[in-house]
Amino acid sequence: GQNIDQPTEMTATEGAIVQINCTYQTSGFNGLFWYQQHAGEAPTFLSYNVLDGLEEKGRFSSFLSRSKGYSYLLLKELQMKDSASYLCAVRPYGQNFVFGPGTRLSVLP
Amino acid sequence: KAGVTQTPRYLIKTRGQQVTLSCSPISGHRSVSWYQQTPGQGLQFLFEYFSETQRNKGNFPGRFSGRQFSNSRSEMNVSTLELGDSALYLCASSLGETQYFGPGTRLTVL
């Protein structure tokens, strides 16, 4: 089966760096996704990692290690608007998307 | 390019009623997926449609059904509503691997 784990909540300070971890157990998939979801809104696509390693996109970076079943989302220079839930997801071969429970990030002034 | 649209945005129904939600995907996207999101269960996959055919189905009772039309627009129907069906219903469309979500329909069952 598939299982994705993320920390439930994290708190960080404006301007800081935060790393949100995601661990998964799944047989095989093309890539790992990260989505951002503000309260009451729909998830928005942040990143998609196919290969192992770090993908950088502005203040956000995402890392994948298939051998370790591990990914993380790195947010730099945190802003108040980054307060949101962050969801990681995979799509096992031939199956539907599986989303993690999400990590609620609170950015404090 | 316009994003995924969903109608209605908010809906209030009573137990036993049925409801139909609509989703229009991004132009050119042929795959549409539906999800239920609740505070306790997170994002749960309902079903996926591609070219008018159901490609995958989640672990939901038969009261939940869907369909896709030739223009890729999709509808989902929930019959005999229960209190536990209160949730945000999200539709997502995709062309390749990445899914793009609509704003959702907030369903409240009283």
Interface-testing mutation among A47, A96, A98, A104, with chain B (most B C-beta atoms within 10 A): A96
Which residues on B lie below 8 Å from A47 (Cβ)?
none
| A74 burial level (CB within 10 Å; 0-12, 13-18, 19+) | middle
Q: How confident is the model at residue B73 (pLDDT cuts 50, 70, 90)?
A: very high
Q: Do A79 and A14 contact (CB within 8 A), yes or no?
A: yes
| A11 burial level (CB within 10 Å; 0-12, 13-18, 19+) | exposed
Q: How confident is the model at residue A2 (pLDDT cuts 50, 70, 90)?
A: low
Which residues on B lie below 8 Å from A31 (Cβ)?
97
Q: Do B19 and B81 contact (CB within 8 A), yes or no?
A: yes
The mean pLDDT of A80-85, rounded to a whole number, is 97
**pLDDT for the residue numbered A91:** 87
CB spacing of A97 vs B97 below 8 angstroms: no
The two tokens of residue A103 are 């990590």
CB spacing of A33 vs B98 below 8 angstroms: yes
